[in-house]
Every structure is written in structure tokens, then in C-alpha cells.
Chains A and B, each alone.
Chain A
């Protein structure tokens, strides 16, 4: 076992908790109008269901428990004509009330659907989101092709501005779900779906793949960072910048490792010769909060452990292990750290 490997192993064990300082996923804590509409519908349904549950189960249980007999008695074979009519009236009334209640819920459903579809979309931000096993690729669309940029697993959006997602899948079916912002929408190979959201308060909203997609379905996370508009503008401008050759010799050596080794076959760094498309675009990887689709905090130790043996952290992942000499690993980490 190489020294780097054993160090990585120790580090990985020490940081055994993959704790991330991000807010929890919560469908009942809306941060935008879409999730807000859904919470309103949920509240209505929960209230009606609670009443119905108490009435129905209460009636059935009381019917049994109110006068139980010890022994099995001779059956009563028929109701009197009068009683039968009375019972029929009760049952019919209960059925009519149930039907009316359900009709009310259908109307509430239609109203909510209209409200969701009615999100104003002027000046919307267009993001093409592609699901991969097991990470997210986000391409920020622009009328000017030179302004299009790509990132992975961490999407920044401006607060108060609508976002239109075009959802695609590269391999199997995935599903986009950021519960604090909206319900889910499937990403299906060969089809394009759209999903519109808006965040009304700044914050970090975690999401994750909701359609079973294979081995690492559990660790296919996504962060949506809602920034105030000026901060978002800065982030966007920064994302469009490409990378220049690092001045630090170690980092420069790392770039050589990156481009001459296996990394560049799958990963792209804009402005360099690395332009692989199988894995996440790493142009600004050092500026992201997490690694491996919101699986690890973005720290040098975690990054080293991930590069060394990704399958130990995410069994089944498509990224192969890299048994680099310690010097090369150090240089590679130094290079990646410059990709801010």
C-alpha cells in the first residue's frame, strides 16, 4: 500500500461523517412560490384527511366496541323495513358527502396546477440540466454561444428571478427534486422536460435524485444556491472565465499530471487541453462546496481520498481509482486547488 493511499485512508476514516453544513431538504419549508403552492394544498389535504380519518375509523371502532357480547348469539336475520330505510339514508348521505369532499379536492388540485403553471417567466434564466450516473451537469444557456458555461452538482440562481430548467438524461432515468423549491420532474433519455422554479429567499437548498438510477442513487445530490442578484451576477461572470496556466511550479506539474494522465479523458478544464465530457466540468471545482455530487465536503483530504479510490466512497461509481505516486498526487491537488 502506498503512503498516499494509507494517508488517504486514515483521512477518510477520520472524516467518516459526510456532514455538510447545508440546510435540510424539507417539502414543508418553502423558499419559493412553487413549493409554497404545494404546502397550501398539503395543508388543505391534511386537515380534511384528519377529520375524515377520525370520523370513519371512530365510527367503525365504536360500532364494534360499544356493545360486544361474550358468546356468539343467534343472528338477527333482517332489519325492519323502517330501519332498513333509515340505514340506507345514512349510508347514501355519507356517500354523497364523501363525493362532494373529493370533488372539492379535485378543484383544489386544478387550482394548484394553474397556480404552478402561472409562474411569471419574464427575464427567466435558462439552465439545461442533464442527469448522469451519478451526477448533475448544468449548462447555463445564453443567446450568445460564447457566454454559455457548464458546471456540475452546484447550481447558483438569482433570488427573485424565475429559472427554466430543460431536463435531459444521458443514460438512465433520473428525477430532479429540490423539495424546498418545487416538486420533482423526471429526466428521461430521449425526451426533454421543463421545470420552472423561483427562489424568493437567499440560501442553499439541497436536492437529490428521486428516481432510482442504480448503485449510487443514494449519493446523487445537488445544491441550489440562491444568491442575491448582484452576487449572482459576479458568480456568473466568474464561471465564464477560463483557466490560465498556473504560475506555481507544483501546480503546473499538477496540470501536466491532469492532462497527460487519465483525468483529462473524462473531465474538462476550460482554457486548457483537457476537454473530456464523461465526468463533471472541473474549470471551477475549487469554488464548489462539495465533491462527488454533494457526498463529501470539498477539502483537500477528501479530494485526495476521492481521487485515490472513488469506489470506496461511492461503490459502483464510474470514476476509476488512481494509484498516483505521492509527488504526483500532491501536485495534482495543488493544481485542482487553483481552479477557483
Chain B
């Protein structure tokens, strides 16, 4: 194993004494204790993905219940009270505890592998973020099962969700769920951004970062700037409801529209926080199955960044029916249409890559084809609803229900399923069944379109959103029945996927390290990658390191295995900078998350919980961060003088 001469490399890499100290990689702790204390990004990432998928299935069941209720007019299956809880919980789950977290979870699993590092930055924080997220989701579903689920919509407009009209604790559970997902989401953000900037393999300069990682990075910055808006909004809502402030009470000088501005200032970027990682998944898959590096890499990166910037200038297009100045609204129309351009650029670049390539049509690529079809249709209806006057007809109707599902299922769920089929061999070491995969695709694709296309027509025929039933005289029965049948087919598609996963876990063909002969670094490790990923971090010389001959020029030596260390590199050029001690497993993130959960849920019932609840949190965090002599010594030893 040769050590390459790296510009700026320090003597760390040529220290034979260090190599001699190499011990075997420490095994990950196992059993229940290992489960609770792990800080391995792959275990936490996978756990995140599985949990989010569980919430996806729950929210999908709620969707099927809604479709059953709406299948025939004047149906008595579900009353308005339950129905309102169902659609609120469905929307809240899909937006807050499925789509955004599962995309971040893909990042937690894949980003460190793609960057060639040993773990994510701040892995204990990621563990804490996961537990908080889990407890928040469980709180939502506990409330739902107890018939006190939130019922004012996933957007919780005031005054309907305010103290006067949103009675009981229902909207408080919603607002606190936001707090849970905010804290969790922002922690993941910090972690992934740091990983991308500081933990890349040497040689992975900024123009060699895989597009998937770019998409993750851009998403994390969007999260960082968008989430505070909803945090302010939901906190103001809790204060209005629990301690009698009047942020949204117009009678006391508050303003109901303030909620909408704050909520959508977050809510619109959120759509792109879901959709941009989906673009990243497509960019990871297209080159591999086209057998060609992605065409227009710089344009792709600039497009992702442009999407992020523009996404903060669109929020008013959710408010075109309110009494805002018309001139201002047209600006938002122009911005909303402009954001189509960066997506179009990416679409053209993928098409060119595929056109000039030697395509191999496997399940992941089928899902990408579905993505093209559904996303383009949803994007075009998006242009329609972005036009102020036309939106006055389409807003808050089933047309918008159709549009948003085309965008989110097309832009996020289809890429996600493409990704599941693509990375399953990496995660489990086994291939998924190709035949079943193709069936899954066609069931999902046909079911989806049969379920959601008729909703465009229903909207134009005057069917508003969020109605628990409708009069037989309205003539909406046949299309609603069609939509219900489609939804059931879609459900079968997802069920078949679960069957395929269960079967392939046991009987799938062994995958080997790189079954697709892909180009990016995650396929360099064994499948599944070992604990700690690799002891010898690769040195990269190409954007497609596994395709370019000599793409991996060598491996970094001299990192201690136990206690584990990893390499920190410079932000732009990824020059090796210094070694850093990696954290070790600990139970305290879990205990801190439990203490935080007690504080959050307690404060729904009494504001004093913020006072007494912070004591256990403070104790848990103090113990978590309490420095030991041995650790301090290690860190000092690794410090680099400037």
C-alpha cells in the first residue's frame, strides 16, 4: 500500500510508529446496550430510514381511509371530527416526520460513505436527533389513537387552530410535534454540513463532490434558514394557546395573516427540502445506468443552489386568495415560474446523459422514468397554480391536491424508491428481486396516476379540499371512486415492495461491493460496510473515482483505530489538515432525549414544565459533555499548531 505524496500533507501519513499501533477495528457493541448507545452513522441512518418508512406506511393507511370515505358521496364511514384528524395527521406525518426526515436520513447513511470518511460529524448529536424524532412521532400517533389528534390541518391556520376555536390539546400536540422535528432537523443539518465541509476524503475538491452530496448540502442550508420561521410561528401559537398571548388575535392587535406568512416562509422551502434530495438521488442513479458521467456537472450544481435561493421567494403563492396587494403577488408569480428553470436545466442534463449513454434498464431506472413523467406533470400544474388569477380558481381545490401529490410523490417518493432499490445491496449485502421490483414500479406508477390524475378534473369541477363528504348531486362520485381504486393499487405496489425487501433480505443474491459498477465512493466499501467504514481513507483524484483509472490514488495511513480517529480536510480543496478523535458510544444522547421529551410534552399541559423540565435536561447534557482526563489528553495530543 503506497502513500501518495499529497500537497499539504502532514507527517501524519508517514509515521511508522503510528502504523505499528494499528489495532484491529473495534467491533461495534451489540445487543440491546449496543442498540441504545450506538453512534455509527449507518446504524442510526438506517434506523432513521426504517422509522420514517414506518410513519410513511401509517400515513398511507390514513390516506386509504380518506379515500374509502370519499369513494361514494354522503358516505357515513367517517364523521367530520375523525376525518379532520385523519387528514391533519396524514399531512403532518408526510411533511414533517416522513419526507424531510427520510431524505436527511439518506444523507446520514450515505454522505459519510460517499465522502470516504469514517463517521458523520457529531454522531452523538445525530443519535440524540434520532431519539427526539422518534419520540415526537410517537407522541403524534398516541394523540391520534386517543382521539385527541390535531384537527386543524397540517398548516394549522389560525384562528381555527388558535385558543378560541381549536379547543382541547389537539393543536398543542401539533405545535409540539413541530418543536420535536425542528430540534431534530436542525441538529442533523449541523452535522451533515460539517461532514461535507470538513470530513471529505483527501483530494475530493469541491468540484469532485458527488451531486447527491451537493443536493444534501443545499437542502441542509435551506433547512437551516427555513426552519426558524416555523419555529417562531409554532412557539407563538403555543404561547397564544397556553399562556394567553395575542400574536394571532386581531382583536388584541395580533394578525391572523402573520401566521400564514411565517408558516409558508418555511412551508414553501420545505417542499424543496423534500424535492432537492430527490434530485440528488436521481443524479446518483442516472449516470450509473447510462454508463456515462453526468453531463453538465457545474450547471447541475448551480441549479441546485439556484433552486434553494428561489425557494425562499415563493411563499406568497400559497396566499393569492388573501387580500394582499396585486402588484406584489405578480412578483411571486414570476419567482414561482422562474424556479422551474433550474429544474428544467437538470432535466435536460439528465436527458442528454441518458441519450448519449448505454442505458441498462433496471428497477432504479424504471423509477427514474416514473419520476420524469410524474414530476414534469406536477411541475406544469405548478406553473398553472403559480399564476395569481388562475390560482384563484385552483387554490384549495382537488386540483391542488393532485398537483402537490404529483410534485411530492413524483419528486420525492419515486426517487426514494429508486434509491431504495439502488442502495439496498449496499446496505444489506443482497440484491433485490428485479422481477418484483418491476412489478412494484408498474403497480405504483399506474395506481398513482389513476388515483391522482382525476383529482385535477374534480378540482375544476368545483370540489374543494378538506371536505369529509360531498353531495351526490355534485356529480363527483365516479371520479372519486376511480381515485380510490387507484389509491388501493398504489397501496398494493408499496406492499409488494415490502414483500420484496423481506424476501431479498433472506434469499437475495449476494451483491458484492459494487453490483451496479457504479462510480461513487460508497460502492468502494464492502456491502454492508464495516463498523467505522474503513480504517484507510481513500485519496481521490476524480469525480468518478471508481470509473476513472487511478481514481483512487492511495489510502491514508496512520489513523489510530482504537481509540478511533478520522481525518479532517480543508473546506475547498480537501487538503489533509489534521486528525481528530472520534466520539465513542454512549447512552447519554438517549437519556437526554427522554428528558427533553418530558419537557416538550409536559409543556403542553403546563407552562411550568419549561422550568422544572429543563433541570433533568441540564443534568443529562452535563453528564454527556463532562470531559474525562483521558479524553482531554487525547484531544490535546491531536491539536495542530497553526
Q: Are A88 and B74 in contact (CB under 8 A)?
A: no
Given contacts A105-B387, A117-B326, A188-B256, contact A63 B471 (CB under 8 A): no
Interfacial residues of chain A within 160-213, with CB under 8 A of chain B in the complex: 171-173, 175, 177, 179, 182-186, 188-194, 206, 208-213
Chain B neighbourhood of A242, CB < 8 A: none
Interface size on B, residues (CB 8 A): 96
CA distance A16 to B352 in the complex (A): 58
A215–B84 touching, CB < 8 Å: yes
Binds B, one of A52-60, A251-259, A262-270: A52-60
The B-contacting residues of A in range 83-100, CB under 8 angstroms, are: 83, 87-88, 90-91, 94-95, 98-99
Interface 9-residue window, one of B22-30, B215-223, B330-338, B610-618: B330-338
CB neighbors of A among B530-583 (8 A): 544, 547-548
| Interface hit among B105-113, B390-398, B492-500 | B390-398
B469 nearest CB across to chain A (Å): 6
With both beta carbons as reference points, the residue of chain B lying nearest to A190 in the complex is identified as B250
Shortest Cβ distance from residue A94 to the other chain B in the assembled complex, whole angstroms: 5
Q: When the two chains form the complex, which single residue of B79, B321, B350, B516 contacts A60, counting CB atoms closer than 8 Å?
A: B350
Contacts of B465 on A, CB cut-off 8 Å? 210, 212
Distance between Cα atoms of A339 and B475 in the complex (Å): 32
What residues of chain A lie closer than 8 Å to B351, measured between beta carbons?
56, 59-60, 63
Map CB proximity to A onto B454-473 as digits: 1 under 8 Å, 0 otherwise.
00000111111111111111
Query: Which residues from A are CB-within-8-Å of B153?
Result: 212
Q: How far is the CA of A77 from the CA of B295 in the complex (A)?
A: 11
Q: B280-336: which have CB < 8 Å to A? A: 287, 291-293, 295-296, 299, 321-323, 326, 330, 333-334
Asked if B323 contacts A186 (CB within 8 A), the reply is yes
Residue among B79, B357, B519 with the highest chain A CB neighbour number at 10 A: B357
Query: Residues of A contacting B157 with CB < 8 Å?
Result: 172-173, 211-212
Across the interface, do A173 and B256 meet the contact criterion of CB distance under 8 Å?
yes
Is the beta-carbon distance between A26 and B461 smaller than 8 angstroms? yes
**Can you pick out 8 interface pairs between chain A and chain B where the beta carbons lie within 8 Å of each other?**
A38-B389, A57-B376, A78-B293, A79-B295, A91-B299, A182-B392, A183-B392, A217-B467
Per the bound structure, the CA–CA distance linking A182 and B465 in Å amounts to 18
What per-residue 1/0 map shows which CB atoms of A107-148 lie under 8 Å from chain B?
011101100110000000000000001000000000000000
Q: Which of B79, B250, B352, B372 contacts A90 (CB 8 A)?
A: B352
- Name 7 extra pairs, CB < 8 A, besides A46-B384, A75-B517, A106-B333: A24-B462, A26-B462, A27-B462, A52-B376, A57-B377, A64-B361, A184-B395
Which residues of chain A have C-beta atoms less than 8 A from B352's C-beta?
63, 87, 90-91
Q: How far is the CB of B513 from chain A (nearest CB, A)?
A: 14
Cα–Cα, bound, A95→B341 (Å): 7
How many angstroms between the C-alpha atoms of A38 and B397 in the bound complex?
A: 15
Question: Using an 8 Å CB-CB cutoff, how does the interface string of B503-514 with A read, 1 for contact, 0 for none?
Answer: 000000000000
The size class of the interface chain A forms with chain B is 35 or more
**A91: nearest chain-B partner, CB-CB:** B348
A211 (CB) vs chain B CBs: closest residue:
B396
Are B372 and A217 in contact (CB-based, < 8 A)?
no
Which A residues lie within 8 Å of B322 (CB)? 186, 188, 193
Interface residue A81 (Cβ < 8 Å from any Cβ of B): no
Tell whether B365 is near chain A: CB-to-CB under 8 Å. yes
Asked if A7 is an interface residue, CB under 8 A from chain B, the answer is no
Residues of A within 8 A of B (CB): 16-22, 24-28, 35, 37-38, 41-42, 45-46, 49, 52-53, 56-57, 59-65, 67-79, 83, 87-88, 90-91, 94-95, 98-99, 102, 105-106, 108-110, 112-113, 116-117, 133, 171-173, 175, 177, 179, 182-186, 188-194, 206, 208-218, 315-316
- B contact residues around A19 at 8 Å (CB): 471-473
Is B333 within 8 A of A210, CB to CB? no
B349 at the interface (CB under 8 A from A): yes
- Give B84's nearest chain A residue, CB to CB: A215
Residue ID in chain B nearest A55 by CB atoms: B376
A95 with B348, Cβ < 8 A, contacts A75-B519, A210-B396 known: yes
**Complex: how many Å from CA A91 to CA B157?**
42
The residue of chain A having its C-beta at the shortest distance from the C-beta of B397 within the complex is: A210
Q: Are A60 and B357 in contact (CB under 8 A)?
A: no
Chain A residues within an 8 Å CB radius of B381: 49
Which B residues touch A117, using CB under 8 A?
326
Chain A residue nearest to B396 (CB atoms) is: A210
B338 neighbours in A (Cβ, 8 Å): 102
B355 at interface by CB-CB < 8 Å: yes
Q: CB of B36 within 8 A of chain A? A: no
User: Does B358 count as interface, using CB distance less than 8 angstroms?
Assistant: yes
CB neighbours (8 Å) of A213 from chain B are 160
CB neighbours of B292 from chain A (8 A): 75-76
